[in-house]
Structure 1
């Protein structure tokens, strides 16, 4: 094969990686978001109606958060084996786990048929989704970023990041369609909500067809050839870089918390509640989230490209400050009940959060050395999801119920963003560093207050042996 053919084949493989990571994470997030939508609109009256309307809603929203508690378990398993047997295999397994659990939720009988077993099975299947989500993102991020040229990692890494807003578009759009085509609320609660869940089975096989054609990450191939695959990557991670895992998780957690206030159920339940003087219909709110999501994609992609020019850390700082600025305008718009104003405020607020979503994959991948990278980013991402997004809809709803003011939710979001901003400032910017298994970029401390790579003194708390 001559040089031209080699370059062409390499470009073709890179396109496959971008497509496979983008499509795969879209399917995973579609599955995840249809559950979040259903928790706010369906599961309370269907699976928890014996608890009463408000208690049923709170328990339903709590099931969203419970799955986050199992993300670290999925991250530990996928990270361990992803660093030992490869990124590609784990991506296929997580895809089938998420899709299978989602389709089974769509076929789940109600308590009227099988009694208390129904909500128990719902929780078990939600836990399976959490296990899958814990392992999926890390593998997709690694495949995309490790396959990218150094000056385009943000752009390549945006492919799995785009899976979240595209999955949200599909989930909310599908739910909006079903609320429109079902003749009434009773029909929607009976069978309409099940259709988006059952459709996941088809999407999973589409994702598998695309992912099975992708080659293994070049970094892992280099590790394998050089005999540098760790026997216990997870143990090495927690022995050498425990503080980095925690700080990286905290640097991400505000993105998860801020996003789930809008996509995880609080906004939907607040804006469709008859108790709210300016309440809107379910279809209207879902359509607004869907249409707004198209603009989120633009912001996400722009932020990823920007991070390739000015660095990941600087882009994150801009994102956090913008999110703080846009939080209270969103709450004012929610309180007004004006649909047009809400659409604009929601788009600007989520656009601010997309500034940190766009470069997130590249940012996380560049923090950890090759031998423990899957374990590191999977655990940090899962932990950040728990600390930020796990119970964000539940906390937001509880704050509103206890204070009667949506502004209490705003201070909650701003407080978490402040924590993430501080942690972002602590971490060293490693944009464009060598990601190979022999890279010297990771010899120094991960923190600005620590030793930079190339200095003599070693920091045992952050440096692998």
Structure 2
């Protein structure tokens, strides 16, 4: 028999301003660093790994193998969501966030010193996969905890805005990851960049993680979790309760489908576009990296606006609107990419990755947090976000690359797939029924 905690009063929600600021800073810095690590890998999967960590041969095969390695991290993320979601729902949010950041930082730095296929043969891709899995497990636990730190500290009427703060880190992490590669690519020739330059960006992660840990260790446990601790309402096995309770089970299934369009959107405009623009359209690598970096920065700026709109008009309405605009923009965007013009591609990524994806991203975190009661919230929302990541995010570059090959280089079949993901997300979002007990 489970119980649902009563909604907090305004007095119970109020935290000292200094503590609240520390929470927001810790959530933002932590997710920025975690996503920086993640997007370094995704950028390298497009531009570096096919050349260094897989056997020489057909370029398309190398790209597919690299994207398969990229996708493996998304398979690991639900495992991380289950592990750290369980710990976060039973022991608290704070401890898990310290652990996930440390694990992700070590995994990323080790990739920076990993020998190539030419040096150690098959061990190179195997070790790359192992480190990718380790980083995926860490990120699988990171996102839910960072969002809950913000959402469960949020003052009345600002839950959407506060919940969007970790999502700002996604745009900043993307901008830092692609920006680092753009800077290194511009500062050295392609031979030096492939030989050792790209490794610098991965090794820098250690410094960033050290800074992030200092901030996170200053954060207290969330008021919502402290309340259920005091009431002895801790779930013994959170994942079992999520699946067993009808409302949570329904929201889990619908949430997994609702996120499809958002995951596909990001991994189209933030990951796949790098390979498509450089390999198919034949644009210079640095130009594409700059365009993605700018798109990521715009997204970071739009996210809190979307969070505020979610407070005003509702999480579902804002998220569904973002998914609808994504679906409508797919065909015009790929037509524009085909021009190969830097100005056109920059403008397109500002709109698709910056504005449209920013709307989706800024509203989804609080939406998914509100689908589950406090006692199983970390596990439930992690399963939604990380479980859907397998097909919505990890497989998207692989699917688009395959559809591109099937269509003889034409993007229109890939576009049809992306529109379908948007439709699925919109319909599923309409039927979500949030459970708000924050």
CA contact (8 A) 1:312 1:429 kept: no
Number of matched residues? 423
SS for the counterpart of 2:56 is helix
* Separation in 1, partners of 2:216, 2:244: 33
CA contact (8 A) 2:85 2:382 kept: yes
Equivalent residue in structure 1 for 2:263, among 249, 256, 263:
256
* Separation in 2, partners of 1:421, 1:249: 12
Q: TM-score, normalised by structure 1?
A: 0.88
Q: Deviations over 1:198-223 (max 9, x none)?
A: 11011111110000000001001011
Q: TM-score, normalised by structure 2?
A: 0.94
Q: Which residue of 2 aligns with 1:67?
A: 73
SS for the counterpart of 1:367 is coil
* Separation in 1, partners of 2:14, 2:94: 22
Q: Deviations over 1:42-63 (max 9, x none)?
A: 0001011334322111100111
- What pairs with 1:416-435 in structure 2 (closer than 5 Å)? 416-428=421-433, 433-435=436-438
- What pairs with 1:173-322 in structure 2 (closer than 5 Å)? 173-182=179-188, 184-240=189-245, 241-264=248-271, 266-273=272-279, 276=281, 279-322=282-325
Q: Which residue of 2 aligns with 1:402?
A: 406
Equivalent residue in structure 1 for 2:31, among 25, 31, 36:
25
The offset of 1:150, in angstroms, is 3.0
Q: Deviations over 1:47-80 (max 9, x none)?
A: 1133432211110011111111111111110111
Q: Which residue of 2 aligns with 1:360?
A: 364
The offset of 1:317, in angstroms, is 2.0
CA contact (8 A) 2:251 2:433 kept: no
Q: Which moved more, 1:283-292 or 1:235-244?
A: 235-244
CA contact (8 A) 2:255 2:368 kept: yes
CA contact (8 A) 2:233 2:375 kept: yes
Q: Which residue of 1 aligns with 2:3?
A: none
* Separation in 1, partners of 2:65, 2:31: 27
CA contact (8 A) 1:47 1:110 kept: yes
Q: Deviations over 1:305-364 (max 9, x none)?
A: 101111111111211221122111210111111111111112111211221210211111
**CA RMSD, 1 decimal:** 1.5
* Separation in 1, partners of 2:300, 2:418: 22
* Separation in 1, partners of 2:37, 2:124: 19
* Separation in 2, partners of 1:232, 1:190: 48
Q: Does 1:110 align with 2:110?
A: no
SS for the counterpart of 2:394 is coil
The offset of 1:292, in angstroms, is 2.2
CA contact (8 A) 1:168 1:290 kept: yes
CA contact (8 A) 1:91 1:140 kept: yes
The offset of 1:31, in angstroms, is 0.2
The offset of 1:9, in angstroms, is 6.6
Taking a change above 3 Å as real, the CA distance of residues 7 and 57 of structure 1, as seen in their structure-2 partners, is closer
The offset of 1:261, in angstroms, is 1.0
Q: Deviations over 1:411-456 (max 9, x none)?
A: 11110111010000111255xx431xxxxxxxxxxxxxxxxxxxxx
Q: Deviations over 1:278-327 (max 9, x none)?
A: x2211111011112222222222211110111111111121122112211
- What pairs with 1:60-99 in structure 2 (closer than 5 Å)? 60-99=66-105
Q: Which residue of 1 aligns with 2:8?
A: none
CA contact (8 A) 1:81 1:90 kept: yes
CA contact (8 A) 2:168 2:301 kept: no
- What pairs with 1:324-403 in structure 2 (closer than 5 Å)? 324-350=327-353, 351-403=355-407
Q: Which residue of 2 aligns with 1:50?
A: 56
5+ long unaligned stretches in structure 1: 1-5, 436-465
* Separation in 1, partners of 2:118, 2:339: 39
- What pairs with 1:5-24 in structure 2 (closer than 5 Å)? 10-24=16-30
Q: Does 1:38 align with 2:44?
A: yes
* Separation in 1, partners of 2:14, 2:422: 43
* Separation in 1, partners of 2:398, 2:13: 51
